[in-house]
């Protein structure tokens, strides 16, 4: 059901088709080119591999992944020329790769010291974790050497990276030279202990990315990699070692972290149903990830795309104004002139949700609280900032910075707070700004609204004048709107109104496909025979000029098999129209809520639709050139093509998020009741997790064949989520399945989808999975966490007043058609 694609890493193997079932070799044995060691659980294999016969390497790879995916290489910088190489245990008790059996020239060997030990007592074993260990037969529980201590480019579950303080052993990753050359490349991912532990990505000797320090939940610069449904993290920092190990809650999941040849760190999982590796996370990925991108005493923030990403910290100003004006922030900032910050009433300003500065020159006290930390920093005039050393369990510990603050990055959520030392005058100013924030925000909204009205009137006047000058010519379409540059949208066709009128037979009722708050949709035929769908916005449409521009801009730049394709637009004589590819099967709601047509969707097809929608949403949230929050995902906005493949449509309400932005607030809540997440419907807070909530509702609708706001029982009418939850907790979840499916479905697959749907509609955003996790869970039989009880139930006294098909904009003050019960605080 999940589409097969090629692997991201493919290495052509010249292995002889010989396979051994053993997982060990002893002193008197050798492994020849063509022989294999197979771990006891058959998860990993060890043997010779290579992309050409004259360059052969001893490596470990997944035994149960179809394409050769190597996770460790022994002789990476000294390949064997030809197929005469052997792996054996030599007279010193070390593992050795010989170029051949006769000359016994060494290509690689371990470093075990065995002067007083018998070499014939040594055995090497390939474990099912992917670790290759060397031990003495009499001391099987004592490992003399292991491959996990000498990683190449891959980190596996249960494999440590970090530093052993007793021996000085540093476990770090190094990239391959190229896709087919496992030699040591130019990138290195390594932990450093100066100040407080943090991990750096190097290109040769240059730092190019930093994780930030450990917060108790994860690295401060990687908030998205905190423990989730699939992964767990184990961080150790004591007198003997500093290390991090990641685990998998479900042992059946195949996962790895790879530093690739391009210098990108990727977290990947194998998706069996699609036969490919799926990326969960990668870094670095934006300019703010580049180490010291904005210089000292500055913050890198990609959220406001219209502004320079670099901004000076409170109390600081650009060091070189001209370079800063030219958007070169590499020289950083300096303390403002004549600002006294030593024993002169100074204090601290909070910078929230940031990757804290480089901790290489910091001091840490693990037993000190945050208030004590502030006092400590305030007493030392050289202290420029402080932060909590561990934000978990209420926060503890103290980190203080002295001198420059380097490599700060802004997030919208997660990470941690940093407290910046400022002068008394700056402290007073920031305190005043904080008190006046709400008032200024309201003024800004009113001013912006007035400006928008004036602009709209000006544009309307210009359009009228243009029409009067040449009524037979088309308008300038997209370019006639402020902020739209036609040169940037050359992939969009501009249709003449006459062309659209002729194609739709003058918008005849016979060609009308549907109607909503935005206007009507018509079927049309172009002169070349192409069938199109025309979305004609009405004068009173809920989708105004801004939404129209939004939809044109967004869809023109999005390409995915599960998104509807925009062919062009028409803006002429007061008309605003979008021209799409024609979907012969119309929208999903016309099938799943229809007792006749619903029978045409068996479970296999419904699962494909659920998975296709999830893939489309994952593309919007993570894989597209933009980060898109749809804000109106529902059954009527999912179209079906000729083969019943789902296509997400209607991007008029969508929002673009910049850089690492993950959430935002709005005073204008748009969308459809029943699909809205609690935080969006009540306070206008939306994020990718708001779309996840909508997906969860839609998933349950597809399974049950019921509209989310039309279920009735004997006592009361309830939102679909509450109905499903009640049966789920009573272990009667299969009772919600659409009766039209009969018994022709896989119970375990249906139950997994119901389970995922309930995870998606959990009341708190942190509890909901991401769309990448949803896609993974859909295509893998993995253990899922138990969902929490939905705490937001939509009810209506009159069902007819709560319509499923309407997508008109709504305001937060007009929540009159519903009541909210049991909304629990945290």
pLDDT at 487 over 50: no
- Listed in order, strand segments (DSSP E) in 118-250 are 122-126, 132-136, 139-146, 154-155, 161-164, 170-171, 173-178, 181-192, 198-203, 206-213, 231-237, 241-248
Distance CA 359, CA 369 (A): 18
User: Which pLDDT value is given to residue 669?
Assistant: 57
Distance CA 305, CA 658 (A): 6
Say if residues 603 and 558 touch (Cβ distance below 8 Å): no
Residue 104's pLDDT band (boundaries 50, 70, 90)? confident
User: Per mean pLDDT, which range of 198-207, 219-228, 642-651 is the poorest?
Assistant: 219-228
User: Which pLDDT value is given to residue 791?
Assistant: 66
User: Which pLDDT value is given to residue 680?
Assistant: 72
DSSP category for residue 619:
I
Which of these, 218, 252, 254, lies nearest to 235 by C-alpha position? 218
638: exposed, middle or buried (C-beta count within 10 Å: 0-12, 13-18, 19+)? buried
Helix boundaries (H) for 673-806: 678-683, 688-704, 720-729, 747-760, 771-779
How does the average pLDDT of the chain come out, rounded? 81
Burial 182-212 (b: 16+ CB within 10 A, else e): bbbbebbbbbbeebbbbbbbbeeeeebbbbb
- Cut 0.85: pTM above it: no
User: Which pLDDT value is given to residue 519?
Assistant: 76
Class of domain 1-150: mainly beta
Distance CA 257, CA 238 (A): 25
What average pLDDT does the segment 106-116 reach?
81
- Which helix H or strand E contains 47, and what residues bound it? strand 44-52
- Write down the number of H helices and E strands in the chain: 13, 48
Angle at 239 between CA 238 and CA 241, to 5 degrees: 65
What average pLDDT does the segment 766-775 reach?
90
pLDDT at 675 over 90: no
User: Which pLDDT value is given to residue 532?
Assistant: 92
User: Which pLDDT value is given to residue 433?
Assistant: 58
Fold of 477-581: Phosphorylase Kinase; domain 1 (3.30.200)
What average pLDDT does the segment 619-625 reach?
81
- Establish whether the linkage from the previous residue to 509 is cis, with ω within 30° of 0: no
pLDDT at 147 over 60: yes
Which of these, 679, 712, 710, 711, lies nearest to 693 by C-alpha position? 679
User: Which pLDDT value is given to residue 123?
Assistant: 93
What average pLDDT does the segment 753-767 reach?
92
Say if residues 354 and 418 touch (Cβ distance below 8 Å): yes
Higher pLDDT, 566 or 487: 566
| β-pair type (161-164, 170-171) | antiparallel
Share of the chain above pLDDT 90, in %: 49
Provide the token pair at 254.
Answer: 């195949």
Residue 543's pLDDT band (boundaries 50, 70, 90)? low
- Concerning whether 632 is annotated as a catalytic residue, the answer is yes
Residue-wise pLDDT for 697-709, tens only, equals 999 999 999 998 7
Which of these, 702, 701, 720, lies nearest to 710 by C-alpha position? 720
What average pLDDT does the segment 142-154 reach?
95
- Listed in order, strand segments (DSSP E) in 642-681 are 646-648, 655-657, 663-665
To the nearest 10 degrees (0 to 180), the angle between helices 747-760 and 720-729 is: 120
Residue-wise pLDDT for 15-73, tens only, equals 333 344 599 999 888 999 999 999 999 999 999 999 888 899 999 999 999 989 999 99
Conformation bin of residue 446: beta by default, left when phi > 0, alpha when psi is -120 to 50? alpha
Burial 236-271 (b: 16+ CB within 10 A, else e): ebeeebbbbbbebeeeebbbbbbbbbebbbbbbbbb
Highest mean pLDDT among 253-267, 459-473, 717-731, 807-821: 253-267
User: Which pLDDT value is given to residue 199?
Assistant: 97
CB atoms within 10 A of CB 668: 11
In CATH terms, are 1-150 and 589-814 the same topology? no
User: Per mean pLDDT, which range of 153-157, 476-480, 620-624 is the poorest?
Assistant: 476-480
Say if residues 608 and 561 touch (Cβ distance below 8 Å): no
Tokens 């480019």, located at residue: 153
Share of the chain above pLDDT 70, in %: 78
CATH for 589-814 (1.25.40.10, 1.10.510.10, 1.10.357.10, 3.40.50.300):
1.10.510.10
What average pLDDT does the segment 654-664 reach?
61
Residue-wise pLDDT for 319-360, tens only, equals 999 888 888 899 999 999 888 999 999 999 999 999 999 999
Q: Is 535 annotated as ligand-binding? A: yes
Higher pLDDT, 532 or 114: 532
pLDDT at 14 over 70: no
Residues 6+ apart with CB under 8 A from 446: none
Provide the token pair at 356.
Answer: 């804290």
DSSP 514-566: EEETTEEEEEEE-TTS-EEEEEEE-TT-SS-HHHHHHHHHHHHT---TTBPPE
- Residue spans per domain, the chain: 1-150, 288-435, 443-473, 477-581, 589-814
Residue 409's pLDDT band (boundaries 50, 70, 90)? very high
Provide the token pair at 301.
Answer: 């923030």
User: Per mean pLDDT, which range of 21-30, 33-42, 489-498, 773-782 is the poorest?
Assistant: 489-498
What average pLDDT does the segment 766-779 reach?
90
Distance CA 205, CA 222 (A): 23
User: Per mean pLDDT, which range of 100-109, 237-246, 603-612 is the poorest?
Assistant: 100-109
From 35, 407, 589, 632, the catalytic residue: 632
User: Which pLDDT value is given to residue 8?
Assistant: 33
pLDDT at 651 over 50: yes
Distance CA 706, CA 562 (A): 23
User: Which pLDDT value is given to residue 662?
Assistant: 53
User: Per mean pLDDT, which range of 563-577, 756-770, 805-819 is the poorest?
Assistant: 805-819
User: Which pLDDT value is given to residue 535?
Assistant: 87
Residues 6+ apart with CB under 8 A from 207: 200, 201, 291, 292
What average pLDDT does the segment 554-572 reach?
82
pLDDT at 711 over 90: no
- C-alpha distances (whole Å) from 716 to each of 410, 678, 794, 796, 803 are 47, 21, 12, 10, 18
User: Which pLDDT value is given to residue 540?
Assistant: 54
CB atoms within 10 A of CB 766: 11
Residue 452's pLDDT band (boundaries 50, 70, 90)? low
Residue-wise pLDDT for 232-272, tens only, equals 889 999 999 999 999 888 888 899 999 999 999 999 989 88
Burial 445-467 (b: 16+ CB within 10 A, else e): eeeeeeeeeeeeeeeeeebeebb
| Residue 787: strand, helix, or coil | coil
pLDDT at 805 over 70: no
What average pLDDT does the segment 361-369 reach?
92
Tokens 């494999």, located at residue: 159
Distance CA 53, CA 658 (A): 48
pLDDT at 516 over 70: no
Distance CA 73, CA 184 (A): 10
Distance CA 764, CA 677 (A): 9
Distance CA 691, CA 414 (A): 19
Provide the token pair at 665.
Answer: 């607030």
């Amino acid at each position: 059901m999940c589409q097969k694609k090629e692997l991201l890493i493919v290495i052509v193997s010249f292995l002889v088709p010989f396979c051994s079932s053993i997982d060990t070799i002893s002193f008197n044995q050798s492994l020849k080119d063509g022989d294999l060691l197979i771990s006891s659980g058959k998860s990993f294999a060890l043997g010779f591999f290579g992309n050409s016969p004259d360059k052969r390497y001893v490596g470990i790879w997944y035994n149960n992944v179809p394409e050769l995916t190597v996770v460790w290489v022994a002789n990476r910088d000294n390949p064997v020329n030809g197929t005469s190489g052997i792996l054996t245990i030599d007279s010193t008790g070390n593992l050795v790769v010989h170029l051949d059996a006769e000359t016994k020239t060494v290509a690689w060997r371990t470093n075990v010291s065995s002067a007083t030990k018998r070499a014939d007592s040594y055995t090497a074993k390939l474990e099912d974790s992917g670790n290759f260990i060397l031990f003495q037969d009499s001391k099987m529980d004592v490992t003399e050497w292991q491959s996990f201590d000498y990683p190449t480019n891959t980190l596996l579950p249960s494999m440590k990276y970090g530093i052993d303080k007793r021996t000085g052993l540093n476990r770090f990753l190094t990239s391959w030279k190229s896709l087919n050359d496992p030699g040591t490349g130019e990138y290195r991912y390594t932990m450093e202990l100066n100040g407080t532990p943090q991990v750096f990505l190097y290109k040769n000797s240059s730092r190019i990315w930093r994780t930030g320090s450990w917060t108790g939940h994860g690295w401060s610069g990687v908030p998205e990699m905190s423990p989730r449904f699939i992964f767990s993290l184990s961080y150790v920092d004591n007198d003997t070692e500093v290390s991090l190990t990641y685990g998998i809650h479900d042992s059946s999941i195949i996962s790895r972290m790879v530093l690739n040849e391009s210098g990108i760190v990727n977290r990947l999982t194998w998706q069996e149903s699609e036969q490919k590796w799926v990326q969960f996370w990668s870094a670095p990925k934006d300019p703010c990830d580049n180490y010291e991108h904005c210089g000292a005493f500055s913050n890198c923030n990609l959220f406001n795309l219209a502004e320079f990403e670099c901004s000076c910290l409170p109390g600081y100003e650009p060091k070189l104004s001209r370079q800063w004006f030219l958007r070169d922030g590499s020289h950083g900032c300096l303390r403002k002139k004549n600002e006294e910050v030593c024993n002169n009433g100074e204090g601290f300003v909070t910078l929230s949700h940031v990757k804290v500065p480089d901790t290489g020159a910091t001091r840490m006290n693990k037993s000190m609280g945050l208030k004590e930390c502030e006092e400590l920093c305030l007493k030392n005039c050289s202290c420029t900032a402080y932060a909590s050393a561990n934000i978990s369990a209420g926060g503890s510990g103290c980190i203080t910075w002295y001198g420059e603050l380097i490599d700060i990055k802004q997030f919208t959520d997660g990470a941690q707070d940093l407290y910046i030392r400022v002068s008394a005058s700056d402290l007073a100013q920031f305190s005043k700004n904080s008190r006046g924030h709400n008032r200024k925000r309201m003024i800004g909204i009113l001013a912006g609204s007035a400006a928008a009205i004036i602009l709209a009137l000006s544009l309307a006047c210009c359009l009228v004048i243009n029409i009067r000058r040449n009524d037979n010519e088309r308008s300038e379409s997209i370019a006639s709107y402020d902020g739209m540059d036609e040169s940037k949208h050359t992939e969009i066709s501009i249709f003449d109104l006459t062309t659209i009128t002729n194609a739709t037979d003058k918008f005849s009722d016979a060609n009308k496909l549907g109607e909503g708050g935005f206007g009507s949709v018509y079927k049309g035929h172009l002169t070349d025979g192409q069938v199109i769908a025309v979305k004609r916005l009405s004068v009173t449409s809920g989708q105004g000029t801004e939404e129209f521009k939004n939809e044109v801009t967004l869809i023109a730049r999005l390409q995915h098999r599960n998104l509807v394709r925009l062919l062009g637009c028409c803006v002429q004589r007061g008309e605003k129209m979008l021209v799409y590819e024609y979907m012969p099967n119309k929208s999903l709601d016309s099938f799943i809520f229809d007792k006749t047509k619903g029978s045409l969707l068996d479970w296999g097809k419904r699962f494909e639709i659920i998975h296709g929608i999830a893939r489309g949403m994952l593309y919007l949230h993570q894989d597209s050139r933009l980060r898109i929050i749809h804000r109106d995902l529902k059954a009527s906005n999912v179209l079906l093509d000729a083969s019943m493949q789902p296509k997400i449509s209607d991007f008029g309400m969508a929002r673009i998020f910049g850089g690492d932005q993950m959430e935002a607030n709005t005073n204008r809540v748009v969308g459809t009741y029943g699909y809205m997440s609690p935080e969006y419907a009540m306070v206008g807070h939306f994020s990718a997790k708001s779309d996840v909530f909508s997906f969860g509702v839609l998933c349950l609708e597809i399974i049950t064949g019921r509209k989310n706001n039309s279920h009735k029982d004997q006592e009361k009418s309830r939102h679909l989520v509450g109905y499903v939850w009640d049966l789920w907790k009573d272990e009667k979840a299969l009772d919600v399945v659409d009766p039209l499916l009969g018994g022709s479905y896989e119970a375990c697959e249906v139950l997994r989808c119901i389970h995922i749907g309930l995870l998606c509609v959990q009341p708190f955003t942190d509890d909901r999975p991401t769309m990448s996790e949803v896609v993974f869970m859909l295509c893998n039989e993995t253990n899922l966490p138990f969902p929490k009880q939905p705490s937001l139930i939509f009810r209506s006294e009159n069902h007819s007043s709560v319509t499923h098909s309407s997508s008109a904009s709504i305001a937060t003050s007009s929540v009159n058609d519903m009541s909210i019960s049991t909304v629990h605080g945290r």
